[in-house]
Structure 1
């Protein structure tokens, strides 16, 4: 008799998953949520949502943290969806508003790592004056989000520290939303990048992307740039440089390439294309924000990576889609028709190519217009 090991493994996995859920439910039934253990809060692992029916749906969380020499454990707890949705939004808004201040968050984060005096906080956070600090300390003390120990040092109350960490954990999962809000604001204020309130020149987006490839060339990497116009109004710019870095940012699961393509305030003036008379330079993140869609393909480290965006918002993660010994970056984007009424002009691109060739004689430029003619 031949055994189907794959099927047996699948059955075993399903049984283990069912057993884990039963054990978890048993724990929750034996340990009801009380006022005392609600105060034993702590940073959560990824939230688990038990989806059965809308009425029975719940969020479970548990974990532990070592804080200033004390180990605080967050026993398994549950928040039913009906409880969350029935929450007093006025009070919840007050809590979020109280914490929705950068300096207050900095204070709480600082004293969580180490109890500090007022003067130490002023120096640590570069606040300048103690008056500015005590304005925030008064609000945090009054809300029972901060206590003053003997010796004048401030710290978080134990029963508040772990809910605060949970809030930071949830905020960490929403950090990318701030970039996407800025993307929307960029589209609403596109005139700042073009020096005019209307009639934006579509070619400025193309020159901004090409500028990144030229910068790679001037840094000693890559000697070829290709520009390919497509029938649907999109364009591809490709080079044989090093390829945009793909590793994750420090303390983040966001890749470097995603940060470059979504952070419109990224400080890299040399990679920004400034239109004469404009207030701000056009970075590749601005191009992404002003495009209906954008796809980036990166060739480096023996792999081909790809990620897709729509109106500047990632539609996929950074995916490994192939193997290669080549290096470089290809960006395909279609400018937003609501902002750019005209199409790319082939002859104008040819003129620009000649100017670039004169400035960078060691750089080979190839242009193709698949809808009309070649050059």
Structure 2
């Protein structure tokens, strides 16, 4: 016997279920509404950033990993540290730990024994420490801090197993902060401009930065790779120095994500003082990294390997990665920079530049400089 279906009752049930679902969706939407999500990209890392208008849990840091050394293999299950706990750590103790590990030779010792257990003499030889006495001073501190263990009867040194992951995490975090050491030096350069520009009573001369950038083109000419350079005064007070040299190398440096051109523009010690322009009365030479630090903004364009590369900076800090912006058959480098008006009270003077160019041409008659 066929049983008749009550379509009305079924529709009532569906309406109730849809109503419950609509209420649930509305509740979820209201719970999420205080958050506004946006995505920001820094070089190769994409970070999702949310603006939060309500009080929520600060979240946590999750980590796990594995590591195979010469003698042991480590594997760590996923772990979590609450951000609220991390931010509430004793600042004085954290500073002491970082200071204790901040010694280069101690870090070198820990990294060496992390790869494989080593004897004292092997550590001395591998790190070129000279004497075992120098090693013993650091070994004693690391043993006392439970960052190092030694086998019985003067055996091999190694890292305690429970310290391996924290040290690797510390190195991982440090690798993402490596460039900040360059930026700190650039900031110190801005605060100590007189060491580079001369301890003058008058306003600092922005032309010193121009001569320093032009020095790079001159060095390319002396190496036999640059025959022409141009100086272009821009309407906004900036200046461009362009040449037909080889172009600053753009390849990524080993064990980093930094290009060689970024290293040139951010590492103050990249060029020695002898290869830098020295301002009258200046204690230190001005290289292109110093120019970058003392500029409100700087853009570099490199033409090599059939491509055009560009990167922008502000107060020495990269605002973009090294971008490929075109193709070309030419080679060379162009640097456009605006001296920071907080440091330099005067602007570029075409007459001053026009007077200086013939002096350079007299020294380097085969280098054509256009103004």
Q: Distance in 1 between matches of 2:198 and 2:302?
A: 32
- Match of residue 127, structure 1, among 102, 123, 129: 129
CA distance in structure 2 between the partners assigned to 1:185 and 1:314 by the alignment: 17
| Number of the residue aligned with 1:263 | 267
- Residue of structure 2 aligned with 1:236, choices 234, 240, 248: 240
Q: 1:345, 1:316 → 2: CA distance?
A: 30
Deviates more, 1:264-273 or 1:94-103: 264-273
Question: Which structure is larger by alpha-carbon Rg, 1 or 2?
Answer: 2
Q: Does 1:171 align with 2:161?
A: no
Q: For the residues of structure 1 that align with 2:227 and 2:364, how far apart are their CA atoms?
A: 10
Aligned to 2:88: 86
Cα distance in 2 for residues equivalent to 1:294 and 1:122: 45
Q: After TM superposition, give the deviation of residue 138 of structure 1 in Å.
A: 1.6
Aligned residue number for residue 345 of structure 2: 341
Of 101, 108, 121 in structure 2, the residue corresponding to residue 106 of structure 1 is 108
User: Does the Cα contact within 8 Å between 1:304 and 1:320 map onto a contact in 2?
Assistant: yes
> RMSD across aligned C-alpha pairs, in angstroms?
2.2
Equivalenced residues, count = 322
Question: Could you list the per-position Cα deviations for residues 126-166 of structure 1 after superposition, in whole angstroms to 9, with x for gaps in the alignment?
Answer: 33443332222122111110001244221111221121011
Is the 1:116–1:154 Cα contact (8 Å) retained in structure 2?
Answer: yes
Check if 1:274 corresponds to 2:275: no
Secondary structure at the aligned position of 1:342 is classed as coil
Which residues of structure 1 form unaligned runs of 5+? 1-45, 368-375
**Matched-pair contact (CA < 8 Å) for 1:49–1:59:** no
**Deviation of residue 298 (structure 1)?**
0.8
State the 1:270 CA deviation. 4.9
1:158/1:48 CA distance change after superposition, 3 Å: farther
Normalised to the residue count of structure 2, the TM-score between the two structures is 0.81
Spell out, residue by residue over 1:54-83, the C-alpha distance to the aligned partner (whole angstroms, 9 max, x if none).
Answer: 406222222211112322112222222222
Q: 2: distance between equivalents of 1:93 and 1:185?
A: 22
TM-score by length of 1: 0.80
3-state DSSP of counterpart to 1:244: coil
Number of the residue aligned with 1:332: 336
2:63 aligned partner: 61
Q: Which deviates further from its counterpart, 67-76 or 183-192?
A: 67-76
1:263-299 alpha-carbon deviations (Å, 9 max, x no partner): 0122444531122442211100010011111110111
The residue that corresponds to 2:20 in the other structure is none
Aligned residues of 1:222 and 1:241 also touching (Cα < 8 A): yes
Structure 2 segments unaligned to the other structure (5+ residues): 1-44
Matched, 1:284 2:274: no
Where do residues 177-188 of structure 1 align in structure 2 (5 Å cutoff)? 177-188=180-191
| Distance verdict in 2 for CA 1:348–1:170, change over 3 Å | same
CA distance in structure 1 between the aligned counterparts of 2:101 and 2:345, rounded to whole angstroms: 44
Counterparts of 2:63 and 2:229, CA distance in 1: 51
| Alignment check: 8 A CA contact 1:50 1:58 kept | no
Compared with structure 1, are the counterparts of its residues 47 and 231 closer, same or farther at alpha carbon in structure 2 (3 Å cutoff)?
closer
Write the distance in 2 (CA, Å) between the matches of 1:270 and 1:252: 27
